[in-house]
Chain A
Amino acid sequence: MYPNEVELQWSVLIVLYPFITGLVAGAFILASLERVFRVEEVKPTYRLALLTALAFLLVAPLPLQLHLGHPERSFEMYLTPHRSSAMAMFGFVYLWYLMAVLLLEIWLDYRREIVELSQTASGWKRLIYRVLTLGSNNVSERSLRIDDRLGYFITLIGIPSAFLLHGYVGFIFGSVKANPWWSSPLMPIVFVFSAMVSGISAVMLLYMLTTRLRRQSIDMRCLDTIARYLLYTFVIDFSLEMLDLLQRIYEADESFRSLDFMVHTRLWVSHVIVQILLGTIIPIALLGLIQVLRLSDVARKRLYVLSGCLTMVGIFAMRWNVVIGGQLFSKSFLGYTTYKMAFATREGLLTAIALMILPFIILWVLVKLLPPWPQAASQPDPSTASADGIG
C-alpha cells in the first residue's frame, strides 16, 4: 500500500453521479424510442421520460459540487478547460445536452401548452409561463409543424448526445491507465448500456406509480413494450460485463490476483450478491419468463415492479463497485483499504440520500408546471400530477 492511498478520494457522491446521469441518458433513450424510432406503444411515457431526464440532469452537478475541495472554483472548468482532460470536456458535453438537447426538446414539445397556460394560468405560475414563451404567442399550424420537425431533428442528435453524456462518464474512468479496475475500452460502452437499463427501469416504475396515483389504468401494451426493450438492453449489458470479467479471469495479468481477492472479500456482497445475482440475473430471468409464459396483467405488473426495483438497486451497486471498488485496492497490488462512509457530512450518506430524493421533488414541480398527461375535467388528486384523463 502506498502511504497516501489509505484514504479514498472519491466518495459515495461520486457513485451517485454516474447513477444519476445514467438515469438521464436512459430516460432520454426511452423517449427517443417513440420520437425517432416510431415505437408507438411507448408514447404514453414520452413526456414523462423527458421530464424525468430533466429532473435528474438538474441534480447531476450537485454531487460533484459537494465533493470538490473548492466548489467556488468549479467555474474554472468552463473558463480554462484543459482540453486533454475528459473531466473538463465533460462540462461542455453536459451543457450541450442540457441546453441544446433536453431543454430545447421539452420546450418545443410543450410550446403550445405553455402559450395556452401563459394566458389562462394565474399568479406566479402565469409569470413563469410567460417567460417560457420568450414573448412569442404564435401557435399556428405552421409554427407547430416547424417545432415538430425541429424536435425530431433534436431528438435525432439527442440520441448520440445522450450516449456521449454518459459514455463520457465511462471514459473518465476507463481512460485512467493507473487503475486496472477502471482502465478498459469497454468502460464507456458498459456505462451506456447500464445507463439505458436504469433509465428505462426508472421511467417504467415512475409510469406505473404516477398512473396508479392518478387512479388511471395502466396501458399494458405500453408497459409490455418498455419491459421488452429493458430486457434486450439488459441482455447486452450483462453480456458486456461478463465478457470483461471472463477476459480478466482468463488473462490473469499483474493486477488480477489483487482484484480477484478484492471481489471475493471486500466486494463479495455488493458485486456478486447485489449487482450480479439480485440486480442482473434475477431481473433478466423474470423479464425473460414474462416473454415466454402467458401471465395475467396483475402478475406481469407485479413482476415488472419487482424487476424494476431490483434493477435500480443492481445498477447502483454497479456504480458502487466501479467507483469504490476501484479505490479499495492498492496500485502496488499489495494491500487494501476500507471506505469509511460518513453520515451527516458534506460527502456522507445523508447527503447522498437527500440528493437521490431531490430529483423526485423537482420532477413533482415539473409535472405540476408541464403536465405530461392530457388535461381533462379537473379531479381532486392528493399528489403528483394535476392532469387526468386517459393516460
Chain B
Amino acid sequence: MEITRRRMLVLLPAAAVAWRFVVAGTPEAAPNYKMTEHWWAMLIDIPKCIGCGSCVRACAEENEVPEGYFRTWIERYHVAGWKIERPEVESPNGGKDGFPPHADDGGKNFFVPKLCNHCADSPCTQVCPVGATFVTPDGVVLIDKSYCLGCRYCVQACPYGCRFINPRTNTAEKCSLCYHRITKGLTTACCEVCPTGARQLADLKNTKDPIHEYLRTHTVQVLKPHMATGAKVFYNGMDGSVR
C-alpha cells in the first residue's frame, strides 16, 4: 500500500506534464524523456496477485492484442505437498476472464502473472536475422513491425513463451512494456489497472525508485535463471515450482 501511494506522488507531476501531449491528440514522446536515463524493469509480487485478470484485459485493450494471443497472461499453480517438480498449472484464456472458482484442496495454490521479461541478454534479439527486434537504450525489448519478416525464429528462441505472430500483421509481437506510455511518464496498462499493486513498473536507473530497497529486503527470483537471459521481471515470493 505504501508503495502505491508513493508511486502516485511520483507519477502525478510527470503524468500531468505528459498528459498535455495526449490531450493535444499528438502524443509524440514527451520531449523531456531521455532514453539513457532509464533502465526499465518490473516487479511482480506473487502473494498479492488475486488472478482477477484485469492486467490481461487492460493489456489487450491498450495494445489491440488479437483474441487468443497474449502479451501478458496469468497462470494458476497447484502444488500438492512436496511435489515441487510436478505442479498442475492452468491458464484458461490466459486468465483474461479471471479464473473459475476453485475450492481448497489441501495443496498450495497461487497465481503467477507473466509477460516478456525484457531480458538484458535477450535471446530473441540475438537470433533475429534482420534487426527487427532489439533492446532499446532504456532496456525495453521492442519489435519493429515494419521491418519484421515473420520468420518466427525469435518465437522459437524465447524461453518464456511470451512471443507470438500477430495474424493481422504477420509479424512477431509481444509485450512492449507499454513503451508508448512509459515514455510519457505513465505506467504500463497492466500496472495501471492492477487492483492490489501486484504488478509495478520499476526504473533501475532511478535512484529514488522503491525497487532498489525492495530488492534489498525481499527474496526475489527471475524465471529460468539458468538460461542466463538477464531477465528484468523480478518475482517476489515465487515458489520453486514455477516454470
Contact = CB atoms under 8 A, between A and B. Distances in A.
When A and B assemble into the complex, do they touch directly, with CB atoms less than 8 Å apart?
yes
Interface of A: 1-5, 7, 9-10, 64, 67-71, 73-74, 76-77, 80-82, 84-88, 91, 172, 176-179, 327, 330-335
A48 to B, nearest CB: 34
A69 B161 contact: no
B243 A3 contact: no
Given A9-B165, A178-B156, A333-B243, 13 more contacts: A3-B70, A3-B161, A4-B155, A4-B161, A10-B156, A64-B151, A67-B151, A70-B150, A76-B130, A81-B130, A86-B127, A178-B157, A331-B159
A2 B153 contact: no
Contacts of B163: 4
A3 B94 contact: yes
15 contacts: A2-B91, A2-B161, A2-B162, A4-B70, A7-B164, A68-B149, A69-B149, A70-B171, A73-B130, A82-B129, A85-B128, A176-B157, A177-B123, A331-B161, A335-B89
Interface in B128-168: 128-132, 147-153, 155-165
Contacts of B87: 334
Nearest to B89: A334
Interface of B: 69-70, 73, 87-89, 91, 93-94, 114, 123, 126-132, 147-153, 155-165, 169-171, 227, 243
B152 A10 contact: yes
A4 B162 CA distance: 7
A179 B156 contact: yes
9 shortest interchain CB distances as A-B pairs = A69-B150, A2-B161, A69-B170, A88-B129, A178-B159, A332-B243, A9-B152, A87-B129, A76-B130
A64 B169 CA distance: 18
A85 B156 contact: no
Contacts, number: 117
A17 B155 CA distance: 19
B159 to A, nearest CB: 4
B129 A70 contact: no
B94 A70 contact: no
A25 B89 CA distance: 44
A377 B231 CA distance: 72
A161 B69 CA distance: 41
Nearest to B163: A4
A178 B227 contact: yes
Contacts of A335: 89
Q: Is the interface of B mostly helix, strand, loop or mixed?
A: loop
In this complex, the member of A71, A82, A87, A334 whose beta carbon has the largest number of chain B beta carbons within 10 angstroms is A82
Given A4-B69, A4-B70, A85-B126, A69 B157 contact: no
Given A81-B129, A86-B127, A176-B127, A5 B161 contact: yes
Contact of A69 (B114, B126, B148, B243): B148
Contacts of A73: 130, 147-149
B53 to A, nearest CB: 12
B212 to A, nearest CB: 30
Contact of A76 (B147, B155, B161, B170): B147
Contact of A91 (B127, B129, B161, B164): B129
A177 B159 contact: yes
A80 B161 contact: no
B159 A84 contact: no
A318 B89 CA distance: 31
A69 B129 contact: no
Contacts of B131: 80, 82
A332 B89 contact: yes
Nearest to B72: A3
A327 B87 CA distance: 21
Given A69-B170, A76-B149, A2 B130 contact: no
B123 A332 contact: no
Contacts of A88: 129-130
A169 to B, nearest CB: 12
A3 B60 CA distance: 14
Contacts of B94: 3
A68 B159 contact: no
Nearest to A8: B152
Contacts of A10: 152, 156
A178 B124 CA distance: 10
A64 B151 CA distance: 8
Contacts of A71: 149
Contact of A77 (B129, B158, B165): B129
A181 to B, nearest CB: 11
A3 B73 contact: yes
Contacts of A84: 126-127
A261 B130 CA distance: 36
B243 A334 contact: yes
In this complex, the member of B88, B130, B152, B158 whose beta carbon has the largest number of chain A beta carbons within 10 angstroms is B130
B120 to A, nearest CB: 15
A67 B128 CA distance: 16
A327 to B, nearest CB: 8
Contacts of B123: 176-178
Contacts of A330: 161
B171 A85 contact: no
B128 A177 contact: no
A10 to B, nearest CB: 6
Contacts of B149: 68-71, 73-74, 76-77
